[in-house]
Amino acid sequence: MQAQVSELSETSKQIIEETIMQAEDENEAEALYENFTEYLNHPLDINNATASELAQFPYFSAFQVQSLLDYRKVYGALFSIHELAFIHGFNTQMAEQLNPFLIVLPFDPNKKESFWQRFSKGKHQLVFRTKRTLEQRKGYEEVEEETEANKQYLGFPWSLYLRYRYTYRKNLQWGITATNGAGEPFFKHINPYGFDFYSAHIMVNDVSKNVRQLLIGDYQALFGQGLVVWSGAAARKSVNVLAAKKQERGFVPHTGSDENRFLRGIAVGFTFNKLAVSAFCSYKFIDASTDSSGFKTLQTSGIHNTEKTAADKHSLSEFVSGYNISFTWGKVKIGSSGLWHRYGAENYRDIRPYNRFELSKNHNFNTGIDFSALWKQCNFFGELGLSANGGKAGLVGLLLDLSYSFRFSTLYRYYAKDYQALYAKGFGENSKTANEEGWYIGLQWVPHRLLTINASSDIYSFPWFRYGINAPSNGWDYRLQIAWQTTPETLMSFSFQHNSKALSVEIEQSGIKQVINNETIGVKYNIRYELIPQLRMEDRIQLSFIKGSTAETGLLLYHDINYKLPFFSLSCSARLAVFDTESWSSRLYAYENDVLGAFSVPAYYAQGSRWYANLHWAPQKNLDIWLRLAQTRYTDKETISSGLASIVGNVQTDFTLQVRWRF
């Protein structure tokens, strides 16, 4: 395991970039990143993993899972990760790409673990991270008048992150996470006990013959295709064909810093031969704008660095309970999910045309049926959902693994404008699982073991108004990606994306808003190569072209260097980027290497340059230290950001320090 390469694959980085581009906030991408890095820290043992554990792995299709199970049944345990290349549905390139996420251990079906082993033979990990912007933001400036003081940040400019985790294989895990954002009070004001947010959990798998899982504390519930119960994040649309189908994961610990979208309480899973039953119950306080009449707006940022945001912290109680029952018969799985939801105050939000059909009560109920069936190389799947007001949602899809060189996926979804599901995360363009109809098609072709072609198409419509769009609208999204590994050390990729989405613009001097189609074209060329085994470089050119009420262009160029000094347990990475965009609309995103367990996908906009440098040093076997410095310099700005976050000047420098101790 020490030899594993602790770095996300290009596919993972691409999915995170796309999620950031479509997400409303970074919490969604952070939770997705946690899922990917979990397999880096705890690789999947493909010899001892159950069918359910293999199905949860984000890079396996249902056909590949079944093919791997059949291979193990006939030939026994695998001797190496590279043996995957000999299994139908896999190839050499795929085995190499999945190497960091997988591990091969001896198969021992008769080995029994004692209670004492689980609690004493595991691994402890303690991580501390702090970061800040070195330039002073307006919110930290000293003021004399009391009225102005109420508008300043309540804490210091350092953000703090502390996490402890104990793990014993996949059988036992517990941990505590504490976070404090920049500007949030620490050991004072609304946080007299230190950090702004605390999270804890304990998870036990294989408790007994019938008790499959027990989880107490903070967790996520991920069932079906996300139309009824999917409390965590999910990958948005992607050129990757597997993105069409969600990988049901059941209950997983909540280890991210999202302070609102998670469950807190108890979850338990039972197994009775072919029948699996899961039940959960949650009660916690969330952020909202409240008064004596009830609540008006839910706050999801998790930021409490001003008097106003501090007043909204944990002001509304939330009760959630639910279930999932599934029956597996051979290669067919049928499940049913239900979720009850209630707030501790009345909901009296403002009714506008765009939100007319959203939840206006303080309680809701959702129920649904999902299915998945594997027939030869075909995987059929889908889910139907119903909300308490009669709103309906449904999707049906198909994944085809016709050969090791060709994959195809298609998905149709219909989410009624009045479907109400607060803990749903269905496949689609809209941030809410409602008011959308669309058809997605994706394909992957590997004409040569060193050449991979991915393409996708998504055509969708919004039958009712959306925020800022006072009319029904539609759009489309076409993507193409070509990856060519010219040599074992060189990988080139080309990406093209063309999409159209409705945009509301004001007709000049009339005050009337008109809905138009805003078209965006994105082009990206990437090349990664090694000069020597310890030195890897990467270059990218990325362009965006916007055609809407006005025409805009954007350009991003960067050069990456990654260097490892194995004799000194030292590695470093750096990037130099230049960018030029005409406005925020033509902004560009690019994944950046960060300290382990964190990620950065900044928006490059306006004109300027950006660089960062990461340093990782392991002075001892169980001790790791990371340092990171990043700076953005604008050539067309005299002030960065706005409001209390504004910085006088054209330079922003961010510093990060992280220490990890394993014992």
Q: How confident is the model at residue 1 (pLDDT cuts 50, 70, 90)?
A: very low
Selected residue with higher pLDDT from 25 and 191: 191
DSSP-assigned letter for residue 407: E
Q: What is the pLDDT of residue 171?
A: 83
DSSP-assigned letter for residue 136: P
pLDDT of 511 higher than 70: no
pLDDT of 32 higher than 70: no
Q: N- to C-terminal Cα distance for the chain?
A: 15
Percent share of the chain, pLDDT over 90: 56
pLDDT of 5 higher than 50: no
pLDDT of 4 higher than 80: no
Q: What is the pLDDT of residue 85?
A: 81
Q: What is the pLDDT of residue 270?
A: 96
Q: How confident is the model at residue 80 (pLDDT cuts 50, 70, 90)?
A: confident
Q: How confident is the model at residue 2 (pLDDT cuts 50, 70, 90)?
A: very low
pLDDT tens across 40-73, in order?
777 888 888 888 788 878 778 778 888 888 888 8
pLDDT tens across 202-217, in order?
999 888 889 999 999 9
Q: How confident is the model at residue 110 (pLDDT cuts 50, 70, 90)?
A: low
pLDDT of 240 higher than 90: no
Say how many residues make up the chain: 663
pLDDT tens across 559-611, in order?
999 998 877 789 999 999 999 999 888 899 988 888 887 778 889 999 999 99
Mean pLDDT of 256-266: 89
pLDDT of 534 higher than 90: no
Kindly report which listed range (96-100, 323-327, 442-446, 647-651) carries the lowest average pLDDT score. 96-100
Mean pLDDT of 532-543: 92
H helices of 234-333, where? 307-311
Q: What is the mean pLDDT of the chain?
A: 88
Q: How confident is the model at residue 137 (pLDDT cuts 50, 70, 90)?
A: very high
Q: What is the pLDDT of residue 637?
A: 92
CB-based contacts of 567, cutoff 8 Å, min separation 6? none
Kindly report which listed range (148-157, 164-173, 290-299, 502-511) carries the lowest average pLDDT score. 502-511
pLDDT of 169 higher than 60: yes
Report which residue type is found at 480: L
Q: What is the pLDDT of residue 585?
A: 85
Phi-psi region of 26 (alpha: psi -120 to 50; beta: other; left: phi over 0): alpha
Q: Which helix (H) or strand (E) holds 320?
A: strand 316-329
Distance, in Å, from the CA atom of 611 to the CA atom of 605, rounded to the nearest integer, reads 14
Mean pLDDT of 493-498: 94
Distance, in Å, from the CA atom of 227 to the CA atom of 244, rounded to the nearest integer, reads 14
Mean pLDDT of 29-42: 68
Q: Which two tokens stand for residue 349?
A: 């939000």
pLDDT tens across 545-558, in order?
998 778 899 999 99
The most confident of 362-371, 482-491, 543-552, by mean pLDDT = 362-371
The most confident of 14-18, 399-403, 497-501, by mean pLDDT = 497-501
Query: Coil, strand or helix: which one is 116?
Result: helix
Mean pLDDT of 618-640: 94
What does 618-662 look like in DSSP terms, one character per residue? EEETTEEEEEEEEEEEESS-SEES-GGG-EESSEEEEEEEEEEEE
DSSP-assigned letter for residue 244: G
Mean pLDDT of 268-292: 94
Q: What is the pLDDT of residue 550?
A: 81
The most confident of 319-323, 428-432, 601-605, by mean pLDDT = 319-323
Could you give the C-alpha distances from 163 to 46, 147, 331, in angstroms and in order?
A: 28, 37, 40
Q: What is the pLDDT of residue 305?
A: 93
Is 235:32 a contact under the CB 8 Å cutoff? yes
Q: What is the pLDDT of residue 133?
A: 96
H helices of 234-311, where? 307-311
Q: How confident is the model at residue 235 (pLDDT cuts 50, 70, 90)?
A: low
Could you give the C-alpha distances from 120 to 76, 114, 124, 139, 368, in angstroms and in order?
A: 31, 10, 10, 47, 42
Q: What is the pLDDT of residue 3?
A: 35
Distance of CA 287 to the CA centre of its chain: 21
DSSP-assigned letter for residue 547: E
pLDDT of 128 higher than 80: yes
DSSP-assigned letter for residue 359: -
Distance, in Å, from the CA atom of 251 to the CA atom of 203, rounded to the nearest integer, reads 9
Selected residue with higher pLDDT from 301 and 228: 228
Q: What is the pLDDT of residue 408?
A: 93
Distance, in Å, from the CA atom of 56 to the CA atom of 633, rounded to the nearest integer, reads 42
pLDDT of 430 higher than 80: yes
Mean pLDDT of 71-90: 85
Neighbours of 327 (CB within 10 A): 13
Q: How confident is the model at residue 166 (pLDDT cuts 50, 70, 90)?
A: very high
Q: What is the pLDDT of residue 13?
A: 64
Is 485:491 a contact under the CB 8 Å cutoff? yes
Q: What is the pLDDT of residue 17?
A: 63
Is 185:154 a contact under the CB 8 Å cutoff? yes
